[in-house]
Each structure stands twice: as structure tokens, then as C-alpha cells.
Amino acid sequence: MAIQEIDAAELDEALGQGARLVDVREPHEYVGGHVAGAVLVPLRTVPEHVDAFRGDGPAYVICRSGSRSFKACEYLVQFGIDAVNVRGGMLAWMDADLPLVEGDQPT
């Protein structure tokens, strides 16, 4: 099954329309800077937190470069979850000069 992907600019637009974003990096990476509103579910914990990706509309998934988030999406689609990978991850988000927040909370 093909995994859907979007770029950082498309994610920014989707977030402006109320999209859900899940960050699958490690806690120390997330604390150092993440997209406002992103919920942290480290990749190794995705199997125990599949329900965190369920909801209205797609679950956008991000990591540092797009690799871990792609793996998470591959796993999630097996459960019928509309998971969309953010191509290029946080590196692409930062390259696009989009805003970051620091700390252990989504906002």
C-alpha cells in the first residue's frame, strides 16, 4: 500500500485548517523544538498508542527527516488509519523557516 506524503508547506496549510499532527521523534528531540500542536508519540511506542492516531481526517506524522514517520505510517495503515507522512520531516519544516515551539507540551 502506498503511503501518502505531504511537504512542510502543505502541512502548514493543513494545520491552519485544524489538522492533527503526531511527532514520532524521541522526547529529547521534541523538547528541543517541535511544530506547535504536535502530540509526541515516540516511534517505539506507536504499537501501544495506535488510538492516538485515530480521529476525524488524516493523522499527519512527522519525525526529524521523514524516515521514522514513514515507518510509523506503514504500521498505522494496517489498522485502517489514514496516516500521512511529512516528507523531509522537521528538517524540511525548519528549512522552510516555519515556526517551532520548545518544551514538553504540544503548544
Q: What is the DSSP string of 28-67?
A: HHHHH-B-TTPEE--GGGGGGGGGGG-SSSPEEEE-SSSH
Among the listed residues 63, 73, 76, 86, the single catalytic one is 63
Is the pTM of the predicted complex or chain greater than 0.85?
A: yes
Residue 17: per-residue pLDDT = 96
- Catalytic (active site) residue 73: no
% of the chain exceeding 70 in pLDDT: 100
Number of domains in the chain: 1
Is the CB of residue 85 less than 8 Å from the CB of residue 61? yes
- Judge whether 25 lies within some domain: yes
pLDDT in tens, 35-86: 999 999 999 999 999 999 999 999 999 999 999 999 999 999 999 999 999 9
CATH number of residue 71's parent domain: 3.40.250.10
- Judge whether 14 lies within some domain: yes
Q: Is residue 5 within a helix (H) or strand (E), and if so which, with residue range?
A: strand 4-6
Residue 107: per-residue pLDDT = 81
